[in-house]
Structures are given as C-alpha cells and as structure tokens.
Amino acid sequence: MGILQNRVAIISGAGTGLGRAASISFAASGADVVLLGRRMEKLEETAALVKAKSQKDALILQTDVSEEQQVLDAVSAVIAHLGRIDIILNNAAVFESGTVLELTSDEWQNQISTNLTGPFLLTKAVLPVMRKAKYGRIINITSGLSWNGAGGYAAYSAAKAGLESLTRTLAGEEHEHGILANLYNPGTLRTEMHATGKDPAIVTPDLIRLASLPAGGPTGTIVSYG
C-alpha cells in the first residue's frame, strides 16, 4: 500500500520532464494518474513507463490547459472514469526567452496562457469536486525566476510570479474546505526545456510529500528542492 493509495492525481505537462517523472512516481506510490498534455505520442510514452514501473494503467487525456473547454472536458472525463480527483500537479509550462522590448503580444500571451491561465483553469474546474469531498492537494510548479526576474525571460518570470500569488490566494480561500495549495520550486532540471540540470526523478519525493500532506498541513507555502 503506497502513501497515495486510492488517490486520483491529475498531472499536466505529463508527456516529458518533471511531469513524466512525477506520473511514474505518483503511480508507484499507489495513485491512479491522469496524464494531460498536448502531444499524444509523448503521453503514450509516459503511460507505458507508468505501466512498466507500477503495473497501473494511466488515463490519457490529450488536453491544452490554456483552452477552457478542453480543461472542462478533461475534468468531466476523469470523474466519469475514476469518480474523484484528489491531487493536481500544475506542471505544464512554456519556457521561451524574450525581453520586454523583444516580445510580441502573441509571444507574451502564449506563455501567460500556459504558465498562469492554465493552472487557473484546471484548478477552477476541479475545485467543486474537491470541495464536495472536503479534500484536495494542489501543487503548482514555480521557479526562482518568479522573484529575481532574470533578464531575457520576461513572460515566464511574470507568469510564475502571478502563479505564486494565485497559489497564496487559493490557499486562503480553500483551506476551510480541506484543500491545501502549495508551490514547489525544483530548481534547474534536465528536460526538453533545459539541456542541463538534475534528473527530474530526483525531486519527485518532495512532490509526493506535498501530495500526501495531512489535514491541517501547510498551505500557501513554497517548498524548494534541497
């Protein structure tokens, strides 16, 4: 019996990187995992790894989290298939360079839509289910760029700063409903978005701890790797 036994976890950006590592780790800890992402072939690869590592079948839902109707349809599908939603890992991200002067409005909006609006839409869609159950664990992936605003990553930095504020607001609004919302900063990971860094699997124990916090546990906090 794993620590996430009988829990249902939705993981966005599950096709690669941290999302893939978390999907495998959550399933190995007993959760039924739901894989969200835009690229079906990548989601299928993750599902195969989940099956190989945990013997559990993942639910694949090709979803662009920046599109509200797609998010609503995905949440409805999860309830239809699994009957509950206990955990959200808002991990989907777009990481592209660009200074304030260089960015076009479309480039800005593309990053804000995925990195900030996406977590808002998925969280909003799931909250009624979590409120009814009086239980929820929401983990939003953030970055050190949210506070130091590194030059050349204006949209990404702004989106992550907004996500941190959204998470603190959510924590205050939903604590009375048994829902805990926290941020996780994994540091630099070796993924499709970044060629160097840690293996994403190294940080997944931290995510499992946040996903399995007890009632009355911390909320509105930032946990950083190391």
Pairing relationship of beta strands 32-37 and 8-12 according to DSSP bridges: parallel
Pairing relationship of beta strands 136-141 and 179-185 according to DSSP bridges: parallel
* Residue 156 falls in the annotated catalytic set: yes
Question: What DSSP letter does each residue of 36-62 carry, written as one string?
Answer: EES-HHHHHHHHHHHHHHHS-PPEEEE
- At residue 9, φ and ψ (nearest 5 deg) are -120, 125
The rounded distance, in Å, linking the Cα atoms of 163 and 43 is: 25
The rounded distance, in Å, linking the Cα atoms of 149 and 169 is: 21
Check 135, 156, 184, 225 and give the catalytic one.
156
**Alpha-carbon separation of residue 139 from 62, 108, 147, 181 (angstroms):** 20, 24, 18, 6
The one-character DSSP state at 202 is: G
The one-character DSSP state at 176 is: G
DSSP element (H, E) containing 110: helix 105-112
- At residue 183, φ and ψ (nearest 5 deg) are -110, 150
The one-character DSSP state at 119 is: H
Q: Please identify every residue annotated as catalytic.
A: 156
